[in-house]
Copies of this chain bind each other. A is one copy, B any other.
Amino acid sequence: MDNSRIEKIIERIKAKDVRVVSRLIRNIEDRIPEAKEIVKRIYPYTGGAKVIGITGAPGAGKSTITDFLITSFRKKGKTVGVLAVDPTSPFTGGALLGDRVRMQSHAGDDGVFIRSLATRGALGGLSAAVEDAIYVLDFMGKDIIIVETVGTGQSEVDIMNNAHTILVVLTPGMGDDVQTIKAGIMEIADIFVINKGDHPNTTKLYMDLMRALDMVQSFPGNWRPPIVKLESIANPIKFAQQVDELREKIEEHFRFLEDKDIFEERERRKARVQLINAVKSQMLYPILERLEEDGELEKMIKGIVKKEASPYNYAEDIRERFLREEV
């Protein structure tokens, strides 16, 4: 790898060169080795940024909340990076574009950097790409990094593990009472946000949520997730005020993390997920790619389809071939 080239890129990131950062994030998504080398080198100098995760069902209004949170943090003099994670496909390009266009209200503000990340390739690795992109924005000097992601699956939970403060956005009238219980994201929420709170079912959702929280025996560090209500974007001035209050709650949670030494616990949880992802990207994917190039993956897939042997049999062959005996 070209060392002086890498040093130059790192300097350009530090100088907040938006084009260089954008290209680097694209290379991270594409798992270019050079990008990984850069992340490794900047890693020891990261840790200055606070990371906010925003998750919730599609259509819950996460992008709008992100948009207003940017404004709210900017008013306080904080720089903001946004990673909008969309675990989808070319088919959905339109929606993604729409979201991004909406966020262009910050386009002239160089204290704001917004980038979308999507799944590339069949082997996954989105969660690892998000982590690396966070390091880059952190190293670039962003004070606040907002990671916005759709959904309730394991990959979203992995992504949320990168956040210091996790917002779960719910909306009344979307079956969210059931969703709250089912989404599996209940226990990772630091702050609940009820959006579209002018809907008639808001009180029911609020009460259901309170009841669910009442059932929890104890919260880590005694932080009981507060519930913040936002009304309709139809009244943008009021909405902005309410998002300011949300920002204050987020800052309160930042202080809580520092006071209670829970920060380190969260860092540890994050480190664990990161390590597992790194092992996947350093060991698992190279092996699979190698087998793919050799056409052996294809042969194995045929064998599985023809029921010649089970996936486990082939996996054992792979294991024997690539692993040292000691495991």
**Taking beta carbons and an 8 Å cutoff, which residues of A are in contact with B?**
36, 39-40, 43-47, 57-60, 86-89, 91-92, 94-95, 119, 122-124, 126, 131, 150-156, 171, 173-179, 181-184, 186-187, 216, 264, 267-268, 271-272, 274-284, 286-288, 290, 297, 300-302, 304-305, 307-316, 318-319, 321-324, 326-327
Contacts and interface: CB of A to CB of B under 8 A. Distances in A.
B305 A36 contact: no
Contacts of A321: 324
Interface of A (DSSP majority class):
helix
A156 B119 CA distance: 14
A284 B282 contact: no
B95 A305 contact: no
Nearest to A184: B88
13 contacts: A40-B312, A43-B309, A57-B175, A87-B152, A87-B153, A92-B181, A119-B184, A123-B276, A124-B154, A126-B154, A153-B154, A279-B287, A283-B283
Contacts of A44: 307-310
B268 A182 contact: no
5 shortest interchain CB distances as A-B pairs: A153-B153, A59-B175, A88-B184, A278-B315, A43-B310
Given A154-B124, A284-B279, A323-B322, A89 B301 contact: no
Given A182-B92, A187-B89, A282 B153 contact: no
A76 to B, nearest CB: 27
A317 to B, nearest CB: 9
B284 A283 contact: yes
Given A152-B151, A155-B154, A280-B284, A327 B123 contact: no
